[in-house]
């Protein structure tokens, strides 16, 4: 018996004239991921992607998990391929389905015939398959209203597909369909989640991490690279750029008032993010800021830092509670890494009483004590890049 994966489109089905573009973007990413798990035939028909192993060496389990992390796919299911006749469909149902129905109490069958030349109607397909399932799994009962599991039989153009239990896919839009964004990635909980959320909307990610050695450690950098690789399992391979803020922070401490340290530092981050985005062809900045979470994330502080942005700034966590952010961090597997206790450049030289309602003109006055352009150029020259290859 041959087993394949069926992936159902997410929001792509709502697209009109440019649907083809979204489908092509998805196809490209899917083929790329499939290559890591063996030799697959990937084809498209009726809002479904068919992923068919070409030989017995394919890792269908691995491909299944990778497909579940692919944005643009709303649901993934493993299915057995049957010939387009009831004899084959029933035999396949009996031999293939019991493994999915163990421990379940109730089921129903949904037959669907998209090939109208097939001699049985959809309700007839359902009834006959239901009988076959009951004979193979006598512990089951039929419950058409609230079944534990729904068995599906899809009679399509070239074959029939039998399966039980659809799994939720990642949803969203295919990565790359929404342009490329620069994720300001710290070692915290919020920024990996922010990157994931924008990747879900089709944004291809590139990351920027600011460090401050020796005040921040080699391990802090390793942690950020690990976070990037975890996000990359969903969003695809990404480049991580690293810039040193050490000299900027030392100058800030020497010349500026303590209550402004964090804000001034964040404005330097913005300037350097602008330059990195321009260099790398990113059309948006992405941060993990959440309104009111810390002093630098009040509305007034966000205005003071945001004033420098040269592209749109996406802050997908802005309206979320910490608990909601943590929930996503756990789901995408970044949480445990994020809580490892390494310092961030924002947590060295932190003011005891940071300004929570800063005024732009006062912040600019502070900056006049520094040679801003020179510091930015110098920091930018420290840029190093790492390519994080996604391990799907």
Q: Which is nearer to Mg ion, 229 or 293 (CB)?
A: 293
Backbone angles phi, psi at 233, to 5 degrees: -60, -25
Contact between 157 and 115 under an 8 Å Cβ cutoff? The reply is yes
Name the DSSP letter for residue 166.
P
Binding characters for ligand ATP, 27-66, by CB under 6 A (x = yes): ----------------------------------------
Stretch of residues binding Mg ion (CB under 5 A), selected from 43-51, 115-123, 165-173, 340-348: 340-348
- 384 in helix, strand or coil? strand
CA distances from 391 to 49, 166, 228, 236, 253 (A): 22, 24, 11, 9, 41
Q: Report DSSP state, residue 348.
A: S
Question: Which one of Mg ion, ligand ATP, none interacts with residue 67, CB within 5 to 8 A by kind?
Answer: none
Q: Least Å distance between CB 156 and ligand ATP?
A: 45
Residue 76's binding partner out of ligand ATP, Mg ion, none, with CB under 5 to 8 Å set by partner kind: none
Give 129 or 305: the residue with its C-beta nearer to ligand ATP: 305
Is the distance from CB of 78 to CB of 62 less than 8 angstroms? no
Measured CA to CA, the distance from residue 235 to residue 155 in angstroms comes to 33
Which of the listed partners (ligand ATP, Mg ion, none) does 293 bind, with a CB threshold of 5 to 8 Å by partner kind?
ligand ATP
Residue of 72, 172, 188, 236 interacting with Mg ion (CB under 5 A): 188
- Residue 38: DSSP 8-state: S
Q: What is the CA radius of gyration of the chain?
A: 26
Q: Which tokens go with 72?
A: 């643009």
Q: Considering only the stretches 166-174, 322-330, 342-350, 364-372, report the one whose residues sit in contact with Mg ion under the rule CB under 5 A.
A: 342-350
List beta partners, residue 240. Answer: 207, 386
Q: How many CB atoms lie within 10 A of CB 32?
A: 13
Estimate to the nearest angstrom the gap between the alpha carbon of 89 and the chain centroid: 36
- Supply φ then ψ for residue 80, to 5 degrees: -95, 145
**If binding is defined by CB under 5 A, does position 186 make contact with Mg ion?**
yes
Part in contact with ligand ATP (CB under 6 A); list of ranges 8-16, 87-95, 160-168, 343-351: 343-351
Q: Does residue 334 belong to the site contacting Mg ion (CB under 5 A)?
A: no
Could you tell me which residues come within 8 angstroms of residue 246 by beta carbon, excluding any fewer than 6 positions away?
Answer: 211, 212, 213, 214, 215
- 45: exposed, middle or buried (Cβ count in 10 Å: 0-12, 13-18, 19+): exposed
**Max CA separation in the chain (angstroms):** 84
Which is closer to Mg ion, CB of 92 or CB of 191?
A: 191
191 counts as binding ligand ATP under rule CB under 6 A: yes
**Nearest residue to ligand ATP, scored by beta-carbon proximity:** 188
Chosen from ligand ATP, Mg ion, none, partner binding at 210 (C-beta under 5 to 8 Å by type)? ligand ATP
Residue 29 site contact among ligand ATP, Mg ion, none (CB < 5 to 8 Å, cut-off depends on kind): none
Contacted entry of Mg ion, ligand ATP, none for residue 37, CB cut-off 5 to 8 Å set by kind = none
Site for ligand ATP in 205-224 (CB under 6 A): 208-210
- Rounded to a whole number of angstroms, the minimum distance from the CB of residue 250 to ligand ATP is 16
Q: Which residues from 150-189 bind ligand ATP, rule CB under 6 A?
A: 184-186, 188-189
Q: What is the C-alpha end-to-end distance of the chain, expressed in Å?
A: 27
| Among 247-255, 271-279, 307-315, 338-346, the segment contacting Mg ion (CB under 5 A) | 338-346
* Span 297-316, contacts to ligand ATP by CB under 6 A: 297
| Among 289, 302, 328, 354, interactor with ligand ATP by CB under 6 A | 289
Determine the Cα–Cα distance for residues 104 and 168; give it in Å rounded to an integer. 19
Strand, helix or coil for residue 310: coil
Answer yes or no whether residue 192 interacts with Mg ion by CB under 5 A.
no
Scanning residues 269 to 288, which ones bind ligand ATP (CB under 6 A)?
287-288
Chain residues that interact with ligand ATP, rule: CB under 6 A: 184-186, 188-191, 208-210, 287-289, 293-294, 296-297, 344-346
Chain residues that interact with Mg ion, rule: CB under 5 A: 186, 188, 344
């Amino acid at each position: 018996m041959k087993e394949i994966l069926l992936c159902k489109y997410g929001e792509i089905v709502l697209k009109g004239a440019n649907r083809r573009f979204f489908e092509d973007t998805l196809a490209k990413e899917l083929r790329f991921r499939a290559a890591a798990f063996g030799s697959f035939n990937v084809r498209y028909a009726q809002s479904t992607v068919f992923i068919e192993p070409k030989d017995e060496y394919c890792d269908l389990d691995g491909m299944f998990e990778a497909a579940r992390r692919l944005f643009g796919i709303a649901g993934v299911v493993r299915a057995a391929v049957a010939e387009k006749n009831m004899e084959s469909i029933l035999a396949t149902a009996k031999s293939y389905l019991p493994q999915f129905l163990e421990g379940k109490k109730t089921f129903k069958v949904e037959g669907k015939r998209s090939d109208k030349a097939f001699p049985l109607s959809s309700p007839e397909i359902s009834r006959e398959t239901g009988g076959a399932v009951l004979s193979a799994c006598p512990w089951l009962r039929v419950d058409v209203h609230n079944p534990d599991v729904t068995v599906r039989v899809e009679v399509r153009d070239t074959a029939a597909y039998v399966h039980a239990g659809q799994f939720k896919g990642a949803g969203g839009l295919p990565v790359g369909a929404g342009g490329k964004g620069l994720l300001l990635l710290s070692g915290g909980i919020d920024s990996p989640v922010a990157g994931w959320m924008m990747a879900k909307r089709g944004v291809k990610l590139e990351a920027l991490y600011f460090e401050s050695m020796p005040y921040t450690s080699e391990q802090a950098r390793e942690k950020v690279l690990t976070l990037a690789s975890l996000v990359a399992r969903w969003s695809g391979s990404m480049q991580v750029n690293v810039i040193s803020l050490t000299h900027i922070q030392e100058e800030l401490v020497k010349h500026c008032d303590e209550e402004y340290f964090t804000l001034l530092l964040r404005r330097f981050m913005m300037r350097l993010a602008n330059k990195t985005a321009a260099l790398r062809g990113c059309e948006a900045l992405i941060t993990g800021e959440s309104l009111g979470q810390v002093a630098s994330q009040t509305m007034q502080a966000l205005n003071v830092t945001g004033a420098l942005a040269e592209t749109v700034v996406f802050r997908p966590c802005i309206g979320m509670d910490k608990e909601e952010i943590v929930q996503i961090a756990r789901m995408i597997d970044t949480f445990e890494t994020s809580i490892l206790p390494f310092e961030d450049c924002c947590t060295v030289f932190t003011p005891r009483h940071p300004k929570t309602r800063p005024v732009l003109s006062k912040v600019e006055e502070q900056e006049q004590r520094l040679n801003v352009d020179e510091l930015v150029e110098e920091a930018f020259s420290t840029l190093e890049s790492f390519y994080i290859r996604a391990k799907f």
